[in-house]
Structure 1
Amino acid sequence: MRKKTWRLGLIAAAVAALLAGVLPGAQAEPVRVAEFLADCTPSHRLPDDPIVLPGLPGASHSHDFFGNDSTNANSTYQSLLGKTGTCRPAIDISSYWVPTFYNGQQIVDPSIVTFYYLGEGVNRPQDIKPTPLGLKIVAGNAKATGDADSSARWSCLHAGQVPPSKNFVTCPAGTQLETYLDFPQCWNGRDLDSADHKSHMAFPVAGGCPATHPVPVPKLRMVIRYPVSGNPAAFRLASGPGYTMHGDFFNVWPAAEMQRRVRDCINVVIKCDINGNHG
């Protein structure tokens, strides 16, 4: 009877493994990541926004700029070309910016800033095209009035027990507050910008780009860490509460380098390093 029970147990385990898609003794398929990235440091701080308020210096709330050193309210693709930046790889002289972070009246500089270019979001990463030169993308909602109209995400670095939120969270001592924001990755194939600075881009639907925005480009994910923890009551952004977090991107990657990284990292689902290489 004991032998029969043992055999029944083995059969049940095998059936459960088959239902789970894993054969007994088989190794799980390794997770593949399509990615290249840019690590950046703060470049400068200005009350400018060359996408939303072009040609109007001082008309915006304060922004922290990363990447291209020259970015200001009057920046154009042509003016950004040939400049230097604060990203690794240095060849990325794109411009990135977010609202300035405050703890009470004190400005807090980010400690870690990474921009990931990902092959996720669409079911066929082999169809992803290089981000076009001069493309402008805005993510998040600077005018959000609450969680319902926000796409911001806040969490704690190395503190997974704290659930993410659209507003600031209380991080344990010794950790850091972090925010991440995904930019839309489906382009309409025509316009580098639009009147509302959003309509020329869209998010994928069910793993594919909508017919109105048929061109998938790498998904840009902004990840920023701030060296603060504890009670977030005094935290704020220049644009308001945490749910107003937003980011802007002005693409000035050299065309050949963007194309190489998309071909060698994204299309073939490879995790590449800072230089766009893999082992």
Structure 2
Amino acid sequence: MGRNTRKRRMPLATKIVAGAAALTVGGGGLVWANFYASAHEDHSGHNRTRSAAAQVATIDCPDVGQKIRDVPDRARGEVDGELATMDSQITNAYQRLATTRRAQAGDAQFVQNSILGPLKDRRKAIIDRIQLEINRAGGKADDNLDELAACQGRPADQMQNGDGQNGDGQMDDGQNQGGDGGDGNGVAGPVADDFVDINDVQPNTRDSRNGLAADGDGGSTGTFTTDCGVNENNLFNSDNLIAAPGVDNGAHHTHDYVGNQDNDAFSSDEDLANADTSCQNQGDKSTYYWPVLRLQDGTQEFDANDQGGGAEGNIGKILKPAEAQIRFVGSRQGDVVAMPKFLRIITGDAKSFTNGDANANTSWSCSGFEDRQVTDKYPLCPDGSQVLRTVNFQSCWDGQNIDSANHRDHMAFVQEDGSCANGFQAVPQLQIRLAYDIPTPTVENGQVQNPYAVDSFPEQLHKPITDHNDFINVMDEDLMNEVVDCINRGEDCQ
């Protein structure tokens, strides 16, 4: 498979992470430590539970980016760059956590003294720079951001798939990547508990914070569908133009792209407007992107040794959706207004496993079982049924801004009655439904064979709740007006 190959500027922090991660690559992929297996097993004739239980599975850091408000426009680029460096620091710390198994077992204070303590100091330095940049640009930085510098270790609390260690508790040398799970990777997640048989999900319940779908019996009831394919052009990269503009590998996981074909961290609005599009309607140059799904079957993908891919635990066969349905719907309370060009929307939270589910917006299901939706589990679908990923984006706009400092405050979900609060205006609501043909994983004796999982930041352990979607509106004015008119007239258009 191909990827966007535009020459990039790589920040120093990213180079450091790349160099550190490269040290653990062997046999074509990165072997991440498994903290779960040895907490439940005795491989060498004496109980190892105590030392294993004292260790941690991942690193939990406060999300500084979501706490920042009122960043002056001229400081946003610098602040986004600092936040991206902070993400790289977490990735680097997690990589160290995952490759110091012996040291942790022998020293109860190793994680705190050698990983979490230095990480806090580095984060504090970045927070200080962020505050300085905001104040220099005429803003007023939050003096309490320093409280977000410290991170915690999250203990292992469940059986891990794919051992990633030898029987004596040491890391594999990279030549034997199968582990007990036999999935050929040894990455940290997913685990058996991340999956659920769709038949065991109660119908007509939805534990997703997927937002209220705007379409209904009242208001503006039309729909507009845009067909942009399923990434037949093989456009992949691990950038995030919205959250980390100008930063190579800002996402630390690989994205699928449909629509705009010039989408990477260095794309300007002018680049987007002048780009080709995979959408059948050439007036739609919007970019629609989401983290790829992978089948963890040992396949060496094009990014098996790259940052964002195998070097950060995202390993296995990339699964393209069999179908990507993209449509815009209306408001239950009245007409919608046009989205401004270059409006940016992030829905869901790539860090929900450590951040909590306040911004989680994931809906997993199976075809034929659409009345059964789950947020924090991957569904095990019966033969002939497709895995479904569905998301309803925020559809209330503040009427002024195409983005905000935390990339969220300019947009909101509708209220229970379908109306927008705080003077926000209803815009067409984007809904994306992705359908995948995936062989059903087997879960036996607390382990999962050949799991599939969403790409994630390494420390998020491929949890399903971290799924998310991104959108930048690059429809031309005539097409956006057509979308609005169609929806407000109650018609179904494409």
Same fold (TM over 0.5): yes
Give the conservation status (yes or no) of the 8 Å contact 1:96–1:249: yes
Alpha-carbon shift at residue 200 of structure 1 (Å): 0.5
The 5-angstrom pairing of residues 46-125 of structure 1 reads: 46-60=237-251, 61-104=253-296, 105-120=316-331, 122-124=332-334
The 5-angstrom pairing of residues 120-159 of structure 1 reads: 120=331, 122-124=332-334, 126=335, 128-145=336-353, 148-149=357-358, 150-157=360-367, 159=368
Name the structure 1 match of 2:203: none
User: RMSD of aligned C-alpha atoms?
Assistant: 1.9
1:237 to 454, 475, 479: 454
Whole-angstrom CA distance in 2 between matches of 1:186 and 1:179: 22
1:260 to 458, 477, 482: 482
Give the conservation status (yes or no) of the 8 Å contact 1:170–1:229: no
SS in structure 2 at match of 1:81: helix
Give the conservation status (yes or no) of the 8 Å contact 1:180–1:221: yes
Q: CA distance change for structure 1 residues 161 and 52 in 2, over 3 Å: closer, same or farther?
A: closer
Q: CA distance change for structure 1 residues 196 and 103 in 2, over 3 Å: closer, same or farther?
A: same
Please, which runs of 5 or more residues in structure 1 have no aligned partner?
A: 1-28, 275-279
1:40 to 228, 232, 239: 228
Alpha-carbon shift at residue 183 of structure 1 (Å): 0.7
For the pair 1:163 / 2:372, whether they are aligned, the reply is yes
Alpha-carbon shift at residue 191 of structure 1 (Å): 0.9
* TM superposition score normalised by structure 1: 0.80
Whole-angstrom CA distance in 2 between matches of 1:161 and 1:79: 38
For the pair 1:191 / 2:401, whether they are aligned, the reply is yes
Amino acid at match of 1:75: S
Alpha-carbon shift at residue 58 of structure 1 (Å): 2.0
Q: CA distance change for structure 1 residues 161 and 201 in 2, over 3 Å: closer, same or farther?
A: closer
1:156-214 deviations in Å (ceiling 9; x for gaps): 12x227722112101111121111111101111111101111110011112211124x2
* TM superposition score normalised by structure 2: 0.46
Amino acid at match of 2:325: T
Alpha-carbon shift at residue 229 of structure 1 (Å): 4.0
Name the structure 2 match of 1:271: 492
1:87-139 deviations in Å (ceiling 9; x for gaps): 1223211101101111102111111112110014x311x2x101111100011
Name the structure 1 match of 2:137: none
Q: How many residues align?
A: 237
Q: CA distance change for structure 1 residues 33 and 161 in 2, over 3 Å: closer, same or farther?
A: closer
Give the conservation status (yes or no) of the 8 Å contact 2:263–2:287: yes
For the pair 1:221 / 2:431, whether they are aligned, the reply is yes
Amino acid at match of 2:373: P
Give the conservation status (yes or no) of the 8 Å contact 2:221–2:489: no
Whole-angstrom CA distance in 2 between matches of 1:161 and 1:183: 18
Alpha-carbon shift at residue 85 of structure 1 (Å): 1.1
Name the structure 2 match of 1:18: none
Whole-angstrom CA distance in 2 between matches of 1:123 and 1:249: 24
Whole-angstrom CA distance in 1 between matches of 2:327 and 2:370: 24
Amino acid at match of 1:164: Q
Alpha-carbon shift at residue 243 of structure 1 (Å): 1.3
1:223-277 deviations in Å (ceiling 9; x for gaps): 11111142274111111222111000011000111112211x11111111x2xxx
In proportion to residue count, which structure has more strand?
1
Name the structure 2 match of 1:6: none
Q: CA distance change for structure 1 residues 148 and 47 in 2, over 3 Å: closer, same or farther?
A: closer
Whole-angstrom CA distance in 1 between matches of 2:238 and 2:408: 21
Whole-angstrom CA distance in 2 between matches of 1:207 and 1:163: 22
Q: Give me the identity figure in percent.
A: 28
Give the conservation status (yes or no) of the 8 Å contact 1:162–1:171: no
Whole-angstrom CA distance in 2 between matches of 1:162 and 1:130: 31
Amino acid at match of 1:72: D
